Amino acid sequence: MQSILYSLKRRRHRAGRYADLLLVEGYGNFVKCHLALGRVLLTAETMRHMESQLPAGQFVRTHKSYLVNLARVERLHGNVLLVGAREVPVGGTYRQEVLRQLHLR
């Protein structure tokens, strides 16, 4: 079981499985970790740090403010990914890599 440690604002930690992490959203000086079943964890990390900590073959940066779990992508429509119930933008800078990771190019 692969896991990641989420640091919460009350200095508590929670270990979770990568598979349960749907996406990471930049939120100022923090990131929101959107988990399965609608849970959201706020962490005091940067997007760059989160990107370096997550497995590259399992997660991809789609936008300056988003990282997504490739296994949780339901569809791509134009420049928007559907991940769970969330619509996540795909920025022009990241589009080619997203398509490559999704095996669409």
pLDDT at 8: 47
pLDDT tens-digit readout, 6-54: 544 455 555 667 888 999 999 988 999 999 888 888 888 889 988 998 8
Looking at residue 80, its pLDDT comes to: 97
Please state the pTM of the whole predicted model: 0.85
Q: Could you count the other beta carbons within 10 Å of the beta carbon of residue 35? A: 18
59-100 tens-digit pLDDT: 999 999 999 999 999 999 999 999 988 999 999 999 999 999
Residue 58 pLDDT = 92
Which residues lie across from 25 on neighbouring strands?
A: 32, 66
pLDDT, position 1: 41
What is the three-class DSSP state of 80?
strand
CA distances from residue 30 to 49, 75, 78 in whole angstroms, order as listed: 11, 27, 28
Alpha carbon distances (Å) from 20 to 23, 36, 98, 102: 9, 5, 20, 19
Q: What is the pLDDT of residue 3?
A: 58
